[in-house]
Structure 1
């Protein structure tokens, strides 16, 4: 009779493979340690903890691997990082309690100033040394991605703020420095490395290394192009070569003669454009940053014409053709690009339009039959042009109009001559755009400033800093000095001086308050837990808040409460985060929000809501109703006002709970009424 098969009869390699699965938590491994000696021995293996460490802290793991030459006790290292997690959560919640502030009620700090986020860069310096920033990056990502999606919204929101800040310091700047430190000859045509940096700078999301995925996809396109060349051009010498693609990469010199290079480039264009069906998107209204990120373009097979051209050059380079990108010297942000090949024998030329593209007007922006000699675009210029176009699209996006490609007019308050506009116009513009869109534009502008140190970029960035109220006093002083150098008119200088004198002194103390919180021992996690229903303290930075109560006839007409999920006209869902007993916005704002032709006019309650599409709106009560199926919404600002979604409504953070003390009971009453109403109807 055979013996019983137990877990101890399994080889330790199999058990280790099971425990290293990403779905197995560290707490489960610790529990396995106390079951038996055999499992305890497996759970103590250094290779197991090395794998778990690399899964949970990939940036810290990469940094530790690069500097540690000796054997590392990965279990002890994991335990040291795990102990830091509680302190980091406490400090993030301290950040949220200091800077949770409505963008409509306090214009001074609608976003966290960068100098406040700088305080976290030395948080674990004594414990972790130079790995401090990498640990914060990994742990913030774990906070954002773990747990239910609709819980701990405030913690995840501010962890995302800190993650973006540290990601820029650790990854984006490091990748850019590594990119520009290449030898001058290889840097000039390193289009592929430039595209990968654009992905890192525009999509700060931790995932599998993008370079590996991109190169695999480009290799696949090169293989398909080689098959097409063998069918279409059997006399091409590339068909008789059996070398790998790496042997064809000969730097800045083509492997083939000019006539053969022309055939290869035409074949690459045909495979990408017509066999794989890559589509061009030149519509400014529909364009997104994904259309300029090579990884997303290769997956979705849709992107800007410039990016598709660079992809063709990367594929042709794999087949032994040296490709340059040329542009017409118009100087406009939407200038035209074209591919220029140089053969081994010195024969060169531009890529001509194929017969199919000539019949498709949308493709002529890639390959134009009429072309004069253009100017070479190097890898640095390519990155700069892509970021410039992203900024241009973001400005058009803020304007909210359907712009046509090539139209020379830019957003009137954020164009190249921004520093000549009176500052008060920018404050007017602030009231007509969503804050998170401005923050995204600020991020793109900051990336452009890293590439191009021009006065125009600096001036636009300073104005955006004013709009976002980032480091108010210092930014005003920098802007004042900048405009003085640019010969600013006297009336605008007077406006700046008046603004500089009116900066609220209490607002400047918020960073010092946060610094004191971080320097002193935070009392406990529960005292900073945003789920705790405690009044907002008057002594907290920002001063005493005004409570909204239903005390008059107007406020009695307010049917909905803060945190309720409602349905707009058209069926889209939204959540209320503020209400007014009557309209307090201008007529222009109502037109912008589409609130025209109201049956009850403006003498009715209005609500500020966050939509499921990611924007903020100001809607009348007659255009809202309770949602039949409430659910968690995807909006980047939800974590700023709410802590969790507990069906069927959101739980406001302490600030909102204090500001609207009566809305909690109304939410409960409405939820019970709707539950009974829908139950009867069903």
Structure 2
């Protein structure tokens, strides 16, 4: 074996079936092999790209020692795991984590250019690991599939993605408008709001390329002599990357293309507006719209415009107060006949004077073309409305926070969004100092408005100081009272509202304010407020406070696992119930006996059946 040429050994060791660990173990078998493996940049470069193909374009042309790069990635992974393991004890009592609480991750990001990509790959691996945990007991945090580990990895992933995207946004708006492509802006929005989903400009571009190819195939069937088929690859590449200032074709040729485009997208591919769930966030994410082929007018318009641009057509986005359309002029003459394309309603053509959303006088300039930045701002506004409409008042705030922070980025002078963000930060005891500094750094049309917000934040800081001293505080065990029937982790059904939920906290009697009790008719309950009340996570993403007499155990958990706060309290689901994480177990140690008794009873029932 020692006599084999280095080239042969490299050929063997670069085989895709051998892992990085296999190569390391082989190198430790003798000094000769150690020298060969250590000195072969080819082996380590190949292994790195085999294990992490996502970084190939980032590193392929760099003159680096790839063994050092592989070592750095593994060392970074250890540091990542170490930081994540500290987070549950540190933030167990914190409902929402401030960006300033994650400064350690920001420090890591500044170590070198590639760190962002390495961290994203590692955190994505954590959050997307779907391995069942078959244990009735509390498990170590790093157990694959541990929901608590994934919960905090998601928090960090969101933080570092949005830090990175803030830089991407600055680069985007610094481009000339001819290079501010709508689909790129739509990808930015999708990435901002879906940190645990891999959405790339390249993938979205390829999907739009494929739709454009479908249109070309249909065009060839009906109009084989269309000049589009004579366009050079250089022209096609330019149309893909730059906004058109005019159409590339004559009037009749444009008409042929638009006719075929409408037929392919709306009849053949079935793109349509989502009337049934209009403000669901998925309708604003271009990756979801391309997959499900339905969405809001604005995202459908971005798809249509992206395909049209690839075919040498110019479609102008027009942002009406209550709708979003594309304006199209077949002629090079801006005063000639033009019309709107209503992509939300099957590509319907809306002529001059027929649009119900405007007071048409026939003037082309009545509604100006929306810039890419204006389109993205409107998408952010849609997402804020969506977050407010579809999040229960007692539910998750991450979606609302993300949409407001997106608005802060794309329109830093939107004072109403900044006020909403300030209130959200104060409500959830988050660090408001960075927002205060931001307000002081901006110029507003009405400076007094910003000053009032700053005073509000300073008053909050003075009277409601964040309890940072509580970080890593000792969790005290809650004593059970005899009237408590249920336990943390048990899956329940509401007897009147029929929703499914999981208990994550309880009080021996109702501790809610008198106003809340009156609003929720607690006095009409059989035992009124003199009974246990449970804090529960509901399948719709909310958390609620429920009387014991309104709950009954169930084995049907349905979609409780989709509630993003499950991981804050529980590590996994086991057969009949959710198993608390270490912090929750410390707080409710006596509940374990009740959970296990119910589990045993369910097992007996299944055996008897």
The aligned counterpart of 1:674 is 602
Contact in 2 for aligned 1:258/1:345 (Cα 8 Å): no
Q: Deviations over 1:321-355 (max 9, x none)?
A: 12222234xxx4x443232235346575444569x
Structure 2: state its 5+ residue gaps.
1-7, 134-144
Q: Deviations over 1:163-213 (max 9, x none)?
A: 11111112x1233233223234333xx223222222222222353x63333
Give the RMSD, CA atoms, in angstroms.
4.2
Summarize the Cα distance change of 1:130–1:260 in structure 2 as closer, same or farther, 3 Å threshold.
Answer: closer
Summarize the Cα distance change of 1:51–1:177 in structure 2 as closer, same or farther, 3 Å threshold.
Answer: farther
| 2:448 aligns with one of 486, 492, 502 | 486
Contact in 2 for aligned 1:324/1:341 (Cα 8 Å): no
The aligned counterpart of 2:313 is 321
Aligned-pair CA distance for 1:246:
0.8
The aligned counterpart of 1:137 is 120
Contact in 2 for aligned 1:229/1:267 (Cα 8 Å): yes
SS in 1 for 2:534: strand
Within-5 A mapping of 1:333-348: 334-341=322-329, 343-344=331-332, 348=336
Contact in 2 for aligned 1:195/1:383 (Cα 8 Å): yes
Would you say how many aligned residue pairs link Structure 1 and Structure 2? 570
Aligned-pair CA distance for 1:256:
0.9
Aligned-pair CA distance for 1:239:
6.8
The aligned counterpart of 2:492 is 566
Aligned-pair CA distance for 1:286:
4.5
Within-5 A mapping of 1:93-112: 93-101=85-93, 109-112=94-97
Is it true that 1:53 corresponds to 2:48 in the alignment? Answer: yes
| 1:451 aligns with one of 387, 406, 410 | 410
Aligned-pair CA distance for 1:297:
0.9
Q: 2: distance between equivalents of 1:467 and 1:300?
A: 36
- Given the two structures, how large is their TM-score scaled by the length of structure 1? 0.72
Is it true that 1:118 corresponds to 2:103 in the alignment? Answer: yes
Summarize the Cα distance change of 1:181–1:488 in structure 2 as closer, same or farther, 3 Å threshold.
Answer: closer
Aligned-pair CA distance for 1:578:
0.7
Contact in 1 for aligned 2:13/2:43 (Cα 8 Å): no
The aligned counterpart of 1:441 is 400
Contact in 2 for aligned 1:255/1:344 (Cα 8 Å): no
The aligned counterpart of 2:209 is 219
Q: 1: distance between equivalents of 2:298 and 2:184?
A: 16
Aligned-pair CA distance for 1:112:
1.4
Q: 1: distance between equivalents of 2:409 and 2:440?
A: 22
The aligned counterpart of 1:272 is 265
Q: 1: distance between equivalents of 2:102 and 2:457?
A: 27
Aligned-pair CA distance for 1:600:
5.3
Aligned-pair CA distance for 1:547:
4.1
Contact in 2 for aligned 1:583/1:603 (Cα 8 Å): yes
Aligned-pair CA distance for 1:475:
5.5
SS in 2 for 1:566: strand
| 1:548 aligns with one of 459, 478, 498 | 478
The aligned counterpart of 1:584 is 511
Contact in 2 for aligned 1:563/1:575 (Cα 8 Å): yes
Aligned-pair CA distance for 1:602:
4.8
Summarize the Cα distance change of 1:497–1:229 in structure 2 as closer, same or farther, 3 Å threshold.
Answer: closer
Summarize the Cα distance change of 1:644–1:376 in structure 2 as closer, same or farther, 3 Å threshold.
Answer: same
Q: Deviations over 1:220-240 (max 9, x none)?
A: 222332343345557x74376
Contact in 1 for aligned 2:14/2:47 (Cα 8 Å): no
- Given the two structures, how large is their TM-score scaled by the length of structure 2? 0.80
Q: Deviations over 1:2-46 (max 9, x none)?
A: xxxxxxxx99758744326xxxx5445545667899999998764
Q: 2: distance between equivalents of 1:479 and 1:124?
A: 26
The aligned counterpart of 1:522 is none
The aligned counterpart of 1:238 is 227
SS in 1 for 2:270: coil
Contact in 2 for aligned 1:567/1:574 (Cα 8 Å): yes
Summarize the Cα distance change of 1:277–1:575 in structure 2 as closer, same or farther, 3 Å threshold.
Answer: same
The aligned counterpart of 2:137 is none
Q: 2: distance between equivalents of 1:376 and 1:394?
A: 28
SS in 1 for 2:350: coil
Within-5 A mapping of 1:235-314: 237-238=226-227, 241=230, 243=232, 246=236, 249=239, 251-282=244-275, 286-314=278-306
Aligned-pair CA distance for 1:642:
2.2
Q: 1: distance between equivalents of 2:248 and 2:439?
A: 53
Q: 2: distance between equivalents of 1:365 and 1:625?
A: 50
The aligned counterpart of 2:155 is 161
Summarize the Cα distance change of 1:37–1:635 in structure 2 as closer, same or farther, 3 Å threshold.
Answer: farther
Q: 2: distance between equivalents of 1:194 and 1:169?
A: 16
Q: 1: distance between equivalents of 2:592 and 2:458?
A: 44
